[in-house]
Every structure is written in C-alpha cells, then in structure tokens.
Amino acid sequence: MQAPGTLYLVPSPLDFGCAAQTSLADVLPVGTLVIAARLEHWICENAKSTRAYLKRVNQLQPLARALQELQIVELPHEVHKKGDHAGQFDARPLLAPALQGHDVGLVSEAGMPAIADPGSSVVRAAHDLAIPVVPLVGPVSLLLGLALSGLNGQSFAFVGYLPHDAATRTRRIHELESLALKTGQSQLFIEAPYRNAALWQALLQSLQPGTRLAVASGLTLPGAVNGSSSVGAWRQRAVPVRADTPALFAIGR
C-alpha cells in the first residue's frame, strides 16, 4: 500500500486585502518557504489569492513547478460561509492526492488555516484518513495581538465576531466583561474593518472605566496601530482603529 503524503498547514502573511504589503521574509521562516515552494497540491479558500501568495513565495524560494502546473482546489462556499463545523462538510475527497502519496498544502487567505479561518474540516479529514498533519510556523494575528495586549496569556478565549445589532452587542460586551473580570480569562474578538469604529465606540460606552481594553490593527504591517490601557484612559484618547484594516480587540483585568 502506498504511504500517504503529509498535509502541511501553511501560514500566509496578514496583508490580505490591505493596502500595505509585508515582506514574506519578515513573517515566514525559511523552513516554511522551502516546504511551500515544493508542494504541488493545494487546498485553499480562493485559488486566485493562493496563486498570488505562491508568486511571492517564488521570489524568495523558487517553486518546484510552474504555477499553472499546480493543482489548486477551493473549499466549497458552504465552508466559507458557515464555517467547518456547521453542515457536516466531508473534506475527505479533497485529500485524494495525499492518499496517492502526494504532500498537500492547506492555506487560508491570511494567517494560519483553521484558526479564525476555514480549514479545520480538512484537518479532521486528514486525521480520520491517517494522513500525517504538520503545522508550519508563520504569523497568527490572534496570538501576536494577545501577546501585545499585556492581558492574561495564561487563560484566554477567542470568541470570534460580536453581534451587529446594537442592543445585542451591548449585552454580549457586558457578558464578556463579566467573564473576564470574574475568571481572569482574557476575551478576544474581531470585527469586519468597516465596523471597527462602531465597535470601538460601543466598547468605550459599555465597559467599566477600570477594565483593560487592548486593540491591535495592521499586525506585521507598516502603519500598525496598537494600544492597551484602562477604558477610562482610552476615553481621553483618539479612536485608534481604522476602517480599512482588520483589528483584534481584547478585554481583561
């Protein structure tokens, strides 16, 4: 029986959709670039941006094959929209090349696949098929932002997006603040860039003055903005978030 290939979890830079670009040498170890450059089979969210990413890899580490010869398949739209855990998507057919002995790369639009991004259905399928899975090192915005926050990094939770409806959002903010203050578990969340300013105002209005609030935007990019202080102190300062860059928010004590 043919030994299976390996599924590599390949991180990508955090500049997807941003005006500024990161140098890949700043965010990806040579070891990651070497493996990415030799993979001929890819599973991704979007083939066009995967090719753009691999073109950048090629500038530092020549690809083993021409871009147009690579096999790049996209995760179905149901996974993009609902996530990997709703709808019982079966990713096993995507891993056919791995069962035939080929190494396969899993990549998302930015950062680490399967973390705040699609991909975990593919990882589960690999484990189910006894295909080895190897995660490669690269940038993960959540963890860079958590380290930067000065909040408790021994106990923390990432809760995704907050609700959009103002009243529901305020209730959720109070719920997360209460959890963070009571248990000491830092609470992290994200928002679509164009809603950053509205979320920021809601946080300043809803949180207690003594609660610590941190924000990080444009991580690893030129023009990165970040800060961490009490809500009371933030109320005296200018709004630190922009409408064109993803941001990570964190609250704690």
Residues that bind its own copies (CB under 8 A): 9, 23, 25-32, 83-85, 112-117, 119-121, 123-124, 126-128, 133-135, 137-140, 142-160, 184-185, 212, 219-220, 224, 226-229, 253
Structure tokens at 164: 């959009």
Least Å distance between CB 28 and its own copies? 6
> Between residues 76 and 83, which has the closer beta carbon with respect to its own copies?
83
* Residue 9 and residue 123 in contact, taking contact as beta carbons nearer than 8 Å: yes
Q: What is the signed CA dihedral for 23, 153, 118, 72, rounded to 10 degrees? A: 30
> Between residues 48 and 164, which has the closer beta carbon with respect to its own copies?
164
The CA-CA-CA angle for residues 152, 155, 160, to 5°, reads 95
> Between residues 29 and 163, which has the closer beta carbon with respect to its own copies?
29
Give CA separation, 61 vs 55, 57, 95, 214, in Å: 10, 6, 25, 37
> Between residues 6 and 206, which has the closer beta carbon with respect to its own copies?
6
Least Å distance between CB 202 and its own copies? 20
> Between residues 29 and 210, which has the closer beta carbon with respect to its own copies?
29
Least Å distance between CB 69 and its own copies? 27
Least Å distance between CB 79 and its own copies? 12
Least Å distance between CB 80 and its own copies? 12
Half-sphere exposure of 86 (CA within 13 A, CB side): 8
> Between residues 66 and 78, which has the closer beta carbon with respect to its own copies?
78
Residues with Cβ within 8 Å of residue 167, at least 6 apart in sequence: none
* Residue 247 and residue 190 in contact, taking contact as beta carbons nearer than 8 Å: yes
Q: Which of 161, 165, 163, 115 is nearest to 135 (CA)?
A: 115
- Phi, then psi, of 126 in degrees rounded to 5: -60, -45
Cross-strand pairs, 39: none
Least Å distance between CB 180 and its own copies? 12
